């Protein structure tokens, strides 16, 4: 069963004095993983209320493993540059174009950045787009 309000479930566990600090850190990490990060203010409040300031690096260091511990509006935006599709003909009910369409078109046109897409090989310079490579 999916948890609707994870903070409501999490707080009694964190405020329970019988749980040790490592279990509380695990619970906070599970909360962060399930919500794809939390705000800096929320994380600071959790750490202060649970009294795990000395062990807070165990939570914050997950960012070095590319886990979004702190999420913000800027971090939630796509880092992939989108194409301008305002002049394209669209269906009446179509409101957006998925990012994968832009990625696939860039792959076909050989425009993918090798830094972001290291496993996509470059097409040979003599390729004219007429066959598989």
Q: HEC states along 51-103?
A: CCHHHCHHHHHHHHHCCCCECCHHHHCCCCCCCCCCCCCCCCCCCCCCHHHHH
Percent of the chain predicted with pLDDT > 70: 78
Q: How far is CA 130 from CA 108, 109, 123, 133, in A?
A: 11, 12, 12, 9
Quickly name the fold that domain 6-65 has: 1.25.40
Task: Share the mean pLDDT of the chain.
Answer: 79
pLDDT tens digits, 82-114: 777 777 776 666 667 788 888 888 888 888 888
Q: What is the pLDDT of residue 27?
A: 92
User: Mean per-residue pLDDT for 61-67?
Assistant: 86
pTM of the model: 0.52
Cα–Cα distance, 60 to 97 (Å, whole number) = 35
Cα–Cα distance, 61 to 64 (Å, whole number) = 6
Place of tokens 């399930």: 34
pLDDT tens digits, 33-62: 888 888 899 899 989 988 888 988 999 998
Contact between 69 and 43 (Cβ < 8 Å) = yes
Contact between 6 and 31 (Cβ < 8 Å) = yes
Q: What is the pLDDT of residue 28?
A: 92
Q: Which of 25-29, 91-95, 123-127 has the lowest mean pLDDT?
A: 123-127
């Amino acid at each position: 069963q999916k948890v609707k309000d994870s903070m409501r479930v999490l707080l009694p566990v964190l405020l329970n004095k019988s749980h040790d600090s490592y279990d509380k850190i695990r619970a906070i990490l599970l909360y962060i993983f399930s919500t794809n990060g939390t705000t800096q203010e929320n994380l600071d409040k959790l750490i202060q209320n649970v009294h795990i300031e000395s062990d807070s690096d165990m939570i914050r260091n997950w960012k070095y493993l590319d886990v979004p511990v702190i999420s913000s509006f800027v971090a939630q935006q796509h880092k992939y540059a989108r194409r301008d599709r305002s002049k394209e003909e669209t269906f009446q009910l179509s409101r957006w174009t998925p990012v994968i369409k832009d990625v696939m078109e860039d792959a076909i046109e050989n425009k993918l950045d090798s830094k972001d897409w290291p496993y996509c090989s470059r097409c040979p310079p003599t390729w004219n787009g007429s066959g598989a490579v």
